[in-house]
Amino acid sequence: MKMNLNIKEKLTLSVGLLVCMIVGLVALSTISLQILTATEPDSPTAEYGLNRSLLLIAIFGLVCIMIGVWLLFKLPGSISKPFKELSGSINEIANHNYDVSLLLTGSTEMESLSANFNRMAKRLRDYHNSSVSALMTSKKYLETIINSIDEPIICLDNDLSLLFINNEALSILNIDRTDAMNRSAQEIALRNDLMRRLINGADSDGGKEKKDEPLKIYADNKESYFQVKYLPVRLSNDNGVQTERKGIVVMLKNITEFHKMDVAKTTFISTISHELKTPVSAILMSSQLLTDKRVGKLNDEQQELSDSIKENGERLLSIIGELLNITQVESGKLLLNPIITRPIELIEYAIKANHVQAEKFGINIEIDYPSQKISRLFVDSEKIAWVLTNLLSNAIRYSNEGSRVIIGAKQPDSRHIALYVQDFGKGIDPRYHESIFERYFRVPGTKIQGSGLGLSISRDFVKAHGGTLSINSAPGKGSCFTVTLPI
């Protein structure tokens, strides 16, 4: 019959057995010693008694040693075995293996521990299965939603591995889902130019839009245009604070129809501007002929009407010129004819072009040019002169009568030249410092007429030269526009 002992009972029994063996060995030695001392040393029975006592002590001692060795190897193992099994089962649970079961025997306590552990594992298994099922259901639901979106969507982790991709993205990338999932986007990009362009944008600027111009994609035997957006994925901790970026979502918005309409609009404006330029020039020529005294002297009222025709005709011609410039920029047909130019030549051209306007408003134009020699520019002098002319015209129109405007140049370093126009008018609120460079934008409350294209075209012309157009302005302190160009 097998005895089921707990650890305490095993230890008590083992220690008790060892104590009994020690007591028995001591008692046997004591009895043998008393027998030997009661026997005459020279008698024949003394030698026989001595040998017998030594034999008994040796046998008993050998038995004690064997029992001790047996306890040494058996007892620790029998005590540690349940703990090893328990530790192994706990490790399996920690590794999400909830199918493990624990079977400890030997005592009521061990059997109770096994039953409680197995009950815990079963509850964890049931909870895990229900959670996984709920997650899989949510995952399928989200995949269904994402796949129902008719815009391409791609999600990458920080290692640029694909986390999910919808059917529309698979279609324009011309790859299968089985070839895409659980693979690195960089690996796919080795054989897919479009994927390479997308991940280059995702990896270079941390989730911002990389280009203003649309992305042209040839798919389904036609050209399509997409606007690419990069949205960083950031998780929030328990306090609601967003942590570092965990991935990025690439979204492509199909703007093909808008692009076609934009091209049609640009073509229309270009055509109508060319058509209008000829009759407007003819009107201005006729107006000029009317003022010629050889044709006949005009009375005061006729002269006023002629001046009004000339002023409005020139304004209309200026607007037509701006429209033609903007169509060049939009259509990508902006051609530069750079030549070596001195900055002072550009400044003098702008002053000459605005001389009449400055006199009309009583504006004093001051030139701020360094006395020391500065470098020359290699630019399209016609377009940069147009930019300065437009900036100076704006400065004059937005200045108070009788005030002054400064136009100048400086060389901040050995690689750049800065041309600037400064006025002392009412200034521009910092909220609108970027908006004023958008097409057709006008600062709220502005009463001065204009097309709203001048600053937009100016920035495009400067950007085409690799330069920048910036503003420094505050309400009541005037404005300073600076054109910085590389040498």
- Read off the pLDDT of each residue in 44-70 and give the average, rounded to a whole number: 73
Residue type, 430: P
pLDDT per residue over 419-469, tens digit each? 999 999 888 989 889 888 887 788 877 766 666 778 888 898 899 899 999
**Closest alpha carbon to 340 in 387, 380, 385:** 380
The pLDDT score that the predictor gives to residue 208 is 43
233, 155 contact by CB (below 8 A): yes
**Closest alpha carbon to 324 in 357, 278, 286:** 278
pLDDT band at 485 (very low <50, low <70, confident <90, very high): very high
Q: 149-254 maps to which CATH number?
A: 3.30.450.20
pLDDT per residue over 101-153, tens digit each? 777 776 677 778 788 888 888 888 877 777 767 777 777 777 777 777 788 88
Residue type, 148: S
The domain 260-331 is classified under which CATH number: 1.10.287, 3.30.160, 1.10.530, 1.10.1670? Answer: 1.10.287
What angle, rounded to 10 degrees, do the helices at 108-148 and 44-94 form? 20
Higher-confidence residue: 109 or 344?
Answer: 344
Higher-confidence residue: 388 or 233?
Answer: 388
Residues 6 or more apart whose Cβ sits within 8 Å of residue 480: 420, 421, 422, 423, 471, 472, 473
Judge if 149-254 and 339-486 fold alike in CATH terms.
no
The first and second tokens of residue 221, run together, are 């035997």
The pLDDT score that the predictor gives to residue 345 is 93
∠ CA 63-66-70, rounded to 5°: 140
Q: How far apart are CA 168 and CA 174, in angstroms?
A: 10
pLDDT surpasses 80 at 211:
no
**Closest alpha carbon to 106 in 26, 7, 183:** 7
The pLDDT score that the predictor gives to residue 2 is 47
Q: Distance between the two ends of the chain, CA-based, in angstroms? A: 103
Give the rounded percent of residues in the chain with a pLDDT score beyond 90: 15
- The answer to which of 56-65, 154-163, 200-209, 361-370 has the lowest mean pLDDT is 200-209
- Read off the pLDDT of each residue in 214-236 and give the average, rounded to a whole number: 78
CA 363 from centroid of its chain's CA atoms: 49
Q: Could you tell me the CA-to-CA distances from 47 to 35, 36, 59, 258, 448 in Å, in that order? A: 12, 9, 18, 124, 140
- Read off the pLDDT of each residue in 394-423 and give the average, rounded to a whole number: 92
Please give the model's pTM, rounded to 2 decimal places: 0.49
Q: Which range is most confident: 3-17, 70-84, 140-154, 412-426?
A: 412-426
The pLDDT score that the predictor gives to residue 347 is 94
Q: How far apart are CA 298 and CA 459, in angstroms?
A: 43
The pLDDT score that the predictor gives to residue 269 is 67
Structural domain boundaries in the chain: 1-147, 149-254, 260-331, 339-486
The pLDDT score that the predictor gives to residue 36 is 60
Q: How far apart are CA 428 and CA 407, in angstroms?
A: 18
Give the rounded percent of residues in the chain with a pLDDT score beyond 70: 79
pLDDT per residue over 23-47, tens digit each? 777 777 777 666 666 656 566 666 6
The pLDDT score that the predictor gives to residue 299 is 77
Burial of 405 (0-12, 13-18, 19+ CB in 10 A): buried
Q: What is the CB-side half-sphere exposure of residue 474 using CA atoms within 13 A?
A: 1
pLDDT surpasses 50 at 4:
yes
- Read off the pLDDT of each residue in 347-375 and give the average, rounded to a whole number: 90
pLDDT band at 237 (very low <50, low <70, confident <90, very high): low
The domain 339-486 is classified under which CATH number: 3.40.50.1980, 3.30.565.10, 3.30.365.10, 3.40.120.10? Answer: 3.30.565.10
**Closest alpha carbon to 436 in 472, 401, 464:** 472
Q: What is the mean pLDDT of the chain?
A: 78
